[in-house]
Amino acid sequence: MWWVMSNNHSRAFPRILAAACTIALSLGMAACGSNSDKSTNSSEDTQMAGVKATGALGKKPKITFHTPMSVVNNSYVVLQKGNGAAIQKDNHVCIQGIALNAKDGSEMMSTWEKNTPDCSMVMNEEGITNKTYYNVLKDQKINSTVAFGINDHNKTSTSYIMAITLVSQSKPITRAKGDKVTDVPANLPKVTLGEKGAPSIDFNGYKPGNDLVVQPLIKGKGQKVDEKDTIDAHYTGWVMDKDGKPSKFDSSWDRGKPAQFSLQQVVKGWTQGLAGQTVGSQVLLVIPPSLGYGSESKDKIPANSTLYFVVDILYDYGEMQTQQ
């Protein structure tokens, strides 16, 4: 979706693991969990010995180990086998996490106290690009706790243990799902949906102005999207051709999979139009040039074009980092 993002289709790096990387960077370590790390691509993953967890499944575990502990990067151990459903491929998985300093066992971060699970993990190889992490997590059940060693061979030999608990999972929706909006103004462009949900548009004689038009077509019942959030969405975009007809310039439906992007990396019309909408919603956006590309041309988008979009909001990851 070159037209709307400043980078490519990068899949989300789970925020808890990204936070672990942030800790690593603050301690002068190299980028953690890198795919260039030998252990990441090794045919034999290294299991981590001497780390134990106690406590009720699905609750914050007490992690113990002898200190100081030497940690191999990407080593792991399954501390608690879950009692819930098996994790399903392509599902969104929510995790709680604790980071512990391997030198003295002190807690460096935890999501448990404020109950802020990270739901940015997608259980497939695009969502979890570190092969070790993916191969270990894909075979677990809900309420499992797994610890990973993070040690990027830094000069000060700082290392730590990240213990994550898989607390829930959800199957992603593939199209807008909610209540059809019945009071759509009659003068707006008309949207027709195909059998699988792909939209087509009839401009219906509509004359765009200078203001952003945001018209929900389906009202979803999921969480409200914030302007700083990252979402999954299906969308199609059009401009008006010289004959006044819709000219499609991009569509995730044509590629056969939703797109993921931050609302901070899109044209202003998307940020303003989708913020405040709910997951499951389908939204018609009519974006004036001032909130699109103005006098700049973009391949199939002529300069000073009004942009027309139909967007299905499929998932909200919240505010998160992405892995390039």
Tens-place pLDDT, residues 248-292: 999 999 999 999 999 999 999 999 999 999 999 999 999 999 999
Burial class (CB in 10 A: 0-12, 13-18, 19+), 55: middle
For the ranges 95-104, 152-161, 305-314, the lowest mean pLDDT is seen at 152-161
Average pLDDT, the chain: 86
Tens-place pLDDT, residues 86-100: 999 999 999 999 999
- Residue 301 tokens read as 């988008």
CA distance 103 to 266: 42
Neighbours of 299 (CB within 10 A): 9
Task: Kindly state the DSSP code that residue 66 receives in the 8-state scheme.
Answer: -
pTM of this structure: 0.80
Length of the chain measured in residues: 324
Conformational region of residue 90, where left means phi above 0, alpha means psi within -120 to 50, and beta covers everything else: left
Strands 199-202 and 230-240: unpaired
Using 50, 70 and 90 to split pLDDT, how confident is the model at 20?
A: low
Using 50, 70 and 90 to split pLDDT, how confident is the model at 303?
A: very high
CA distance 70 to 52: 15
Tens-place pLDDT, residues 209-258: 999 999 999 999 999 999 999 999 999 999 999 999 999 999 999 999 99
177 Cβ partners below 8 Å, 6+ apart?
Answer: 218, 220, 280
pLDDT surpasses 80 at 22: no
Tens-place pLDDT, residues 60-111: 999 999 999 988 888 999 999 999 999 999 999 999 999 999 999 999 889 9
